[in-house]
A = this chain, B = another copy of it.
Amino acid sequence: MTDKVGFIGTGIMGLPMASNVIRAGYPVWVFARTQDKALPLIQVGATLCDSPRQVTEHADVIITIVGDTPDVEQIVLGDQGVIEAAAPGKVLVDMTTSSASSARNLATRLSEKRMDMLDAPVSGGDIGAREGTLSIMVGGNPAVFERVKPLFEAMGENVVLVGDHGAGQVAKACNQLLVAQHMYATAEALLLAKAAGVDPGRVREALLGGFAASRVLDCHGQRMLNRNFVPGFKAKLHQKDMRIVLQTMGDCHLDLDGTKLAAEGINRTVDAGYGELDTTALLQVLEARNHLKLS
Contacts and interface: CB of A to CB of B under 8 A. Distances in A.
A166 interface: yes
Interface residues of A, number: 74
A186 interface: yes
B255 A174 contact: no
B261 A257 contact: yes
Interface string A158-178: 101011101100110111111
A248 B196 contact: yes
Interface in A202-248: 202-203, 205-207, 209-217, 219, 245, 248
A47 interface: no
A131 to B, nearest CB: 14
A199 interface: yes
Interface in A256-289: 256-259, 261-262, 265, 286, 289
A196 B164 CA distance: 11
A100 interface: yes
Contact of A198 (B158, B170, B215, B289): B170
A175 B212 contact: yes
A182 interface: yes
Contacts of A198: 139, 162-163, 166-167, 170-171
Contact of A174 (B212, B245, B253): B212
8 contacts: A124-B211, A135-B206, A135-B209, A162-B206, A163-B198, A174-B207, A211-B216, A258-B262
